[in-house]
Amino acid sequence: MSPIVFEGNWPVSVSRDAKFSVRSEKGVHVIGILYETREGEKWYPTNSHHEDLVKMVNKIKTEISATPGGAFYLNEYRQVIVPAGDPLTYFYAGDYEKDLIFDFEGKKLCGLPADLEGNPLKPGDTWVGPHAGIPYTLKAGARDIYYTKQVRPNVTKDELLSKHVGPVEARKTASKVASIKGSAGGRFYINECRSIFAPLDRGATWEYIYIGRLEDDDPWFPRPHRTGW
């Protein structure tokens, strides 16, 4: 069976710490992330207990690029999204339900809303977890949310939440994000645990803030089909 092209929201350009990767550690492929601390350190934690996920990612990588390992993403529906090939294409590798938790120097790094000691976060707290997530944009005025998708080479389109749930329902979720992000809008992220976080300008620095969780009853984009909406 040929690899399935993913037609939902996939990141076009994100920072290095906003993705997962399959990497080699002592001759074995493991799951890893890059984590940058507030003190400027860069951590490279790994987890060797997700062999099934490694196989899912490497199957796409080897079939398309002939080389295993590399970046991948997990969206809010737990869909594994794997970029590969030239030109770069995003493929659906399957769903993965297990939480990715990285133990590093006594700290726990994961997508759940908790600090590095496991204490729960509340909306407005500093997001100290990994930045791996899928980007969305809150429109200025906080009435809608969108992501930008490439529909064909050199052509993009903004996919609006209101197109799928209607303007009234879209505003409900937009208001939830804006309660922390602000009505001016801008980028925010949702990870595989449905934690929502966003960068905020704190004057001298940018800081990631926890917004809340995308709940099952929050109006949202439907789960992408394998070959389109």
| The pLDDT of residue 88 | 87
- How sure is the predictor about 226, in pLDDT bands with cuts at 50, 70 and 90? low
Residues 31 and 46: their CA atoms lie apart, in Å, by 5
Residues in contact with 92: Cβ distance below 8 Å, sequence separation at least 6, in sequence order: 4, 5, 6, 79, 80, 81, 82, 226
Burial class (CB in 10 A: 0-12, 13-18, 19+), 60: buried
140-177 residue pLDDT tens:
999 999 999 887 778 889 999 999 999 999 999 999 99
Q: What is the pTM of this model?
A: 0.93
Residues 118 and 114: their CA atoms lie apart, in Å, by 5
21-68 residue pLDDT tens:
999 999 999 999 999 988 889 999 999 999 999 999 999 999 999 999
| The pLDDT of residue 73 | 96
Helices and strands in the chain, H and E counts: 3, 17
Pairing state of beta strands 4-5 and 35-36? unpaired
Residues in contact with 171: Cβ distance below 8 Å, sequence separation at least 6, in sequence order: 142, 143, 144
- How sure is the predictor about 182, in pLDDT bands with cuts at 50, 70 and 90? very high
